Chains A and B, each alone.
Chain A
Amino acid sequence: MLAFAAGDRGAFETLFRRYTPPLVNFLARMVPDRARAEELAQEVFVRIYNARDRYEAKAKFSTYLFGIAHNIALNDLALAYRQRERPLDQAIEATRPDSGPSLDDQLDAKRKAERIQAALAALPERQRAALVLRSEQDMGYEDIAQSLGTSVASVKSLLHRAREKLLVLVDQEKPS
């Protein structure tokens, strides 16, 4: 990022290609619509590109990137909720797997993944962000805290509550 800030556009393209997959994945976990997640990911890169002159290497680039992504996702969710275009409950409902007679069948890997994704979508946003950064991006508590703009103690609490709730939700979704 420092090379890009110094004028090396190739350095930005390297960052762009390297971080596009985890960024799109993170935002797709945060907002209910996949196309919207891509738009937000593009917006994150636009902001980074346009703010290159103001970049300060205070932390890892990944925490800087996910910090912007987290803020953009929260703003987008809050805006959608205020406008009632797509209320969050409805959005979460839309990500739930179909519940029908097929649930009586033996669970395969796809159905299990859908169950976990639905439960993940039902978590409060900050808990979800902390858990996705931990489990899917393999970030440590310190980096998660910087990305979410909070303390390590708060991250511990977010992760504890996220896992407790997720375990309950996944248990509820299990076919009887």
Chain B
Amino acid sequence: MTGCSAHRDDLDAYIDRELTADASQRFQTHLGECALCREAIDARALLDAELRSLPRVEASPQFEAQFWARLARSHEPALPWWRRMRWVPLALGASAAGALAIMLFTGNPSRPPGDLEILANAEDFELLLDDDHELVMALDVLEAWDGAEES
């Protein structure tokens, strides 16, 4: 649908009525002889008709009111820099609170030790086992003594 190579540039200008009267006349004569260009012109004419018949997008009912409000906002004086910076203390306070919260949750020295920390202290662990062993031995002696008394 590109027409013949000799008149390709004239197709759109012809459809858009942008050719001079002479050029338009010459192209019309050519159309009588060139099926390629006739096909291209027909396709463009149909396309243009379809484009022109597209439903138009209309502004919403509140468009005008929104415009006047927007225009009024555009005339409001810009805030001085110290008023535009009023979020800075707020941001600093929030950052400090965040840092404090992180310290409280991760840096508390009085929390109970985890399993890995207990295992890392292997000596204490063995001492604890020894103490338990002595206690069990003492209980066995007591039981044996009670048994001897009853008999």
Closest-by-CB residue of A relative to B63 is A38
A46 and B67 within 8 A (CB)? yes
A46-B74, A113-B53, A160-B11 known; A38 and B47 CB under 8 Å? no
A141-B16, A159-B16 known; A21 and B9 CB under 8 Å? no
B104 within 8 A of A: no
Contacts of B74 in A (CB 8 A): 46, 50
- Return 15 A-B CB contacts under 8 Å, by A number: A38-B59, A41-B59, A42-B66, A42-B67, A46-B74, A50-B71, A116-B50, A116-B51, A116-B54, A134-B16, A136-B51, A141-B13, A156-B12, A167-B44, A170-B50
B59 and A20 within 8 A (CB)? yes
B99 within 8 A of A: no
B84 within 8 A of A: no
Binary interface encoding of chain B residues 44-58 relative to chain A, with 1 for a CB under 8 A from any of its CBs, else 0: 100110111111111
Q: Is the interface of B mostly helix, strand, loop or mixed?
A: helix
User: CB within 8 Å of B: which residues of A?
Assistant: 16, 20-21, 24-25, 28-29, 34, 37-38, 41-43, 45-46, 49-50, 109, 112-113, 116-117, 120, 131, 134-136, 140-141, 156, 159-160, 163-164, 166-167, 170
Which of A34, A45, A116 has a CB less than 8 Å from the CB of B57?
A: A34
B48 and A135 within 8 A (CB)? yes
The 9 closest A-B pairs by CB, nearest first: A28-B57, A135-B51, A24-B59, A42-B67, A25-B57, A25-B56, A159-B12, A160-B12, A42-B70
Total number of B residues with any Cβ neighbor in A under 8 Å: 31
B60 within 8 A of A: yes
A136 and B54 within 8 A (CB)? yes
B12 and A163 within 8 A (CB)? yes
Closest-by-CB residue of B relative to A138 is B52
CA distance A135 to B48 in the complex (A): 7
A160 and B9 within 8 A (CB)? yes
CA distance A2 to B136 in the complex (A): 108
* Minimum Cβ distance to chain B for residue A19 (Å): 11
Binary interface encoding of chain B residues 7-19 relative to chain A, with 1 for a CB under 8 A from any of its CBs, else 0: 0110111001010
Contacts of A163 in B (CB 8 A): 12, 44, 47
Q: Is the interface of A mostly helix, strand, loop or mixed?
A: helix
User: CB within 8 Å of A: which residues of B?
Assistant: 1-2, 8-9, 11-13, 16, 18, 43-44, 47-48, 50-60, 63-64, 66-67, 70-71, 74
Closest-by-CB residue of B relative to A34 is B57
Contacts of B70 in A (CB 8 A): 42-43, 46
Closest-by-CB residue of B relative to A13 is B64
CA distance A140 to B17 in the complex (A): 9
A29 and B12 within 8 A (CB)? no
* Minimum Cβ distance to chain B for residue A33 (Å): 11
CA distance A131 to B15 in the complex (A): 13
A24-B59, A37-B57, A159-B16 known; A167 and B52 CB under 8 Å? no
Closest-by-CB residue of B relative to A168 is B1
* Minimum Cβ distance to chain B for residue A25 (Å): 5
Closest-by-CB residue of A relative to B13 is A156
